[in-house]
Amino acid sequence: MTDWRTWGSEQLTTIAQEKQAAYDEYKSRKLKLDMSRGKPCPEQLDLSGGMLDVLKPGGRLTTEDGTDTRNYGGLDGIPEAKRLFADILEVKPEEVIIGGSSSLTMMHDTIARAMLHGVYGSPAPWAKLPKVKFLCPSPGYDRHFAICELFGIEMIIVDMLPDGPDMDQVEKLAAEDEAIKGIWCVPKYSNPDGITYSDEVVDRLAGMSAKAADFRIFWDNAYAVHHLTDTPDRLKPMLAACKAAGHPDRVFLFSSTSKISFSGAGVAAMAASAANISFIRRQLSVQTIGPDKLNQLRHVRFFGGMDGIRSHMAKHADILRPKFDAVLGLLASELGDTGIASWNEPNGGYFISLNTLDGCAKEVVAMAAEAGVTLTQAGATFPYGTDPRDRNIRIAPSYPSPEELQAAIRVLILCVQIVSARKLLSAREA
């Protein structure tokens, strides 16, 4: 295959017609395929089925410190759950707060509390300031951006590079502007790029100077243990890096078992320095008597510890890897060398991030939808839902069956080919 960008009008017209015919054939099949969200498939959820049986009436329902999980108490989690998340997030158990079933809720509430009360060490509640801004490495996770929008936090796009956010941009912006109070990071197998931050990026984030004394890194380690290969990426522990750099209070870490056990019915946690944790715990004690300890107990009994998590995640990988390979194989065979698209080959996580030629993504996603293939809205991976280059498409291969996935990706590829050919043609004519 040759680079389409070098083709003449005749060749482009022919290929556009050929691909259009194939697309029309798919359209007539009235497909109904949804690849819009990174949801585990039913087979993945079945892997945790045994968890529903680990607690029995009349069985031992107390924690290792004797707490009855059926009753009130335990504001920040049972000791064995804190230990498990301490291992996942590479912090100490006393630096962990266990939440409910959603880490997104914990992130939302952390921002909400910062707006209303400030964070530990804030000179003023953030909402009292004329302006609050966040750095948003993009493409990124749309729900992070939605939280900022809800609270009126201005988002500043920072480019993603192959080893994390462009730190030259981050350092410059954070050092200059007091209104910049934080940065969103998905540091491992990032959503959607599948990038793991390098040690250098971790150290620069931990060590950089920030004009806002209460600047915080929101370190959403949602895919900490979600490897797809036997040679997983390694992420330098962020809390330890912040402590070493003399900024122990700079980071809030988050994670959950949403894509380990059950999505929406797992266990979520956050972690931070002792000072941050005691500040937050005081506020939480007003909001709740404590989260669901039965669910925490179920999880720790089912997984045991990190070894249990690791072997469980290997089973997830066995289901997911063939799906990722199928997508990557089709992209390579149909789009490789055409110069009209590029994509990542992640070692973990839930997404493949596809970049089209500039100005094509919206049209591609709309065209796929017309043929019954729902993709994440183009632009959703950028603040305010606007991709400045209109080129990024997030592919979520986990949920569809292998057959559905094949069809969906073939449709997507046809749409990329048709829209690109038209785009190149119109450039020739202009």
Where do contacts with ligand PMP occur on this chain (CB under 6 A)?
38, 102-104, 141, 186, 191, 220, 222, 256, 258-259, 268
Interatomic CA distance for residues 228 and 188, integer angstroms: 12
Dihedral Cα 362, 364, 369, 373, nearest 10 deg: -130
Nearest to 56 by CA among 298, 291, 367: 298
- Min dist CB 259 to ligand PMP, Å, is 6
Q: Provide the b/e sequence for 307-338 (b: ≥16 CB within 10 Å).
A: eebeebbeebbeebeebbebbbebbeebbeeb
- Cα–Cα distance, 165 to 198 (Å, whole number): 10
| Interatomic CA distance for residues 95 and 239, integer angstroms | 10
Nearer to ligand PMP, 138 or 258 (CB): 258
Looking at the Cβ atoms of 118 and 139, the one nearer to ligand PMP is 139
Q: CA 26 to CA 229: how far, in whole Å?
A: 33
Q: Give 93's DSSP letter.
A: G
Burial code (b: 16+ CB inside 10 Å, e: under 16) for 64-99 equals eeebebeeeebbbbbbbbbbbbbbbbbbebebbbbb
The minimum distance between CB 95 and ligand PMP, in angstroms, equals 19
Residue number with CB closer to ligand PMP (104 or 167): 104
- Compute the least distance from the CB of residue 104 to ligand PMP, in Å: 3
Query: Could you give the CA distance from residue 125 to residue 116 in angstroms, rounded to a whole number?
Result: 5
Among residues 110, 145, 165, which one has the least CA distance to residue 287? Answer: 110
Instruction: Report the residue number, 57 or 264, with the smaller CB distance to ligand PMP.
Output: 264
Q: C-beta of 147: minimal distance to ligand PMP in Å?
A: 11
Rounded CA separation 345/354 (Å): 10
When the beta carbons of 245 and 265 are compared against ligand PMP, the nearer one is: 265
Smallest separation (angstroms) from ligand PMP to the CB of 105: 6
Work out how close the CB of 289 gets to ligand PMP at its nearest, in angstroms, rounded to a whole number: 21
Q: Using omega within 30 degrees of 0 as the cis cutoff, is the peptide bond preceding 192 cis?
A: yes
What amino acid occupies position 378? A
Task: Tell the smallest beta-carbon distance from residue 59 to ligand PMP (Å).
Answer: 28
- Minimum CB distance to ligand PMP smaller for 187 or for 379: 187
Q: Which is nearer to ligand PMP, 103 or 198 (CB)?
A: 103
Q: Of 254 and 302, which CB lies nearer to ligand PMP in the complex structure?
A: 254
Nearest approach, Cβ of 141 to ligand PMP (angstroms)? 4
CB of 101 to ligand PMP, least distance (A): 7
Nearer to ligand PMP, 100 or 322 (CB): 100
Q: How many CA atoms lie less than 13 Å away from 411 in the CB half-sphere?
A: 30
| Strand, coil or helix: 374 | strand
Please list, in sequence order, all residues whose beta carbon lies within 8 angstroms of the beta carbon of residue 92, skipping any fewer than 6 positions away: 86
